[in-house]
Chains A and B, each alone.
Chain A
Amino acid sequence: EVQLVQSGAEVKKPGESLKISCKGSGYSFTNYWIGWVRQMPGKGLEWMGIIYPGDSDTRYSPSFPGQVTISADKSISTAYLQWSSLKASDTAMYYCARFKGGNSGDCSFDYWGQGTLVTVSS
């Protein structure tokens, strides 16, 4: 069974750093991209970026310039999303999702993590 399990909710202060995780299981982690999606309170879905754990090829949305870093450790089938200095406006639910890209892929987010709620407040 394909599963993406995300780390737990976080409460942080502005200026603090944070790294959240997404662990994949039930499939070959290095053969699928992992994407990150933000959902601010009461709002829609925003695509943040995507990483291919096989070679760490990473693409970012220009809507998040330099604000976040996406990484992956294929040895433990885990992808990460990190901030060096959080702002109150980073308060949101963050989802990871699996993506099969390339000409032979369906190019859709087929499995999703349960979400990690990040609250940034002084």
Chain B
Amino acid sequence: DIVMTQTPLSSPVTLGQPASISCRSSQSLVHSNGNTYLSWLQQRPGQPPRLLIYKISNRFSGVPDRFSGSGAGTDFTLKISRVEAEDVGVYYCMQATQFPYTFGQGTKLEIK
């Protein structure tokens, strides 16, 4: 199985400041078709997860442009340019390049 490792596990951030979460996979996420199926999800307290980013850097419909994704191969990053109060929650990376699909362990974003 591909292991997804996120850092940090907890990130206290000041409102209006940037935040960054790293996700590393145990093997390359480049599919045989050339695509890289790495997505980012947000789970606010008490809610189901919500898709933010797919295929490394594509924002899903309705996702604010302060969220951005980057990376390649085995190293990926989610950035929030200016954290807002509604961004509090847990963020997960997920790979869908190879079965079984796997999630990172989650990064808790909280306000200082």
CB atoms of B39 and A109 under 8 A apart:
yes
19 example contacts (A-B, Cβ-Cβ < 8 A) are as follows A44-B92, A44-B103, A44-B104, A44-B105, A45-B92, A47-B101, A61-B100, A106-B54, A106-B58, A107-B35, A107-B54, A108-B37, A108-B54, A108-B55, A108-B60, A109-B39, A110-B51, A110-B54, A115-B48
B107: shortest Cβ distance to chain A, in Å? 10
What 16 new A-B contacts, CB under 8 Å, besides A60-B100, A101-B96, A103-B35?
Answer: A35-B101, A44-B104, A44-B105, A45-B41, A45-B106, A47-B101, A50-B101, A95-B48, A99-B96, A106-B55, A107-B39, A107-B97, A109-B94, A110-B51, A111-B51, A113-B48
From B54, B100, B105, name the one whose CB has the most chain A CB atoms within 10 angstroms: B100
The SS class assigned to the A binding surface is strand
Q: Cβ of A112 < 8 Å from any Cβ of B?
A: yes
A7 at the B interface (CB under 8 A): no
Closest to B103 in A: A45
Listed from nearest, the 6 A-B pairs whose CB atoms lie closest are A108-B54, A108-B39, A107-B37, A61-B100, A107-B96, A112-B48
A62 contacts chain B at the CB level, 8 A cutoff: yes
Number of B positions contacting A (CB below 8 A): 28
Cα A101 to Cα B39 with chains together (Å): 13
A-chain residues with CB within 8 Å of residue B90 when the two chains form the complex: 44
A46 at the interface (CB under 8 A from B): yes
Query: Residues of B with Cβ closer than 8 Å to A?
Result: 1, 33, 35, 37, 39, 41, 43, 48-51, 54-55, 58, 60, 90, 92, 94, 96-97, 99-106
A44-B92, A106-B58, A108-B51 known; A62 vs B105 contact (CB < 8 Å):
no
B49 with A45: CB separation less than 8 A: yes
Query: Which chain A residues numbered 43 to 67 have a C-beta less than 8 Å away from chain B?
Result: 44-47, 50, 59-63
Residue A114 is within 8 A (CB to CB) of chain B in the complex: yes
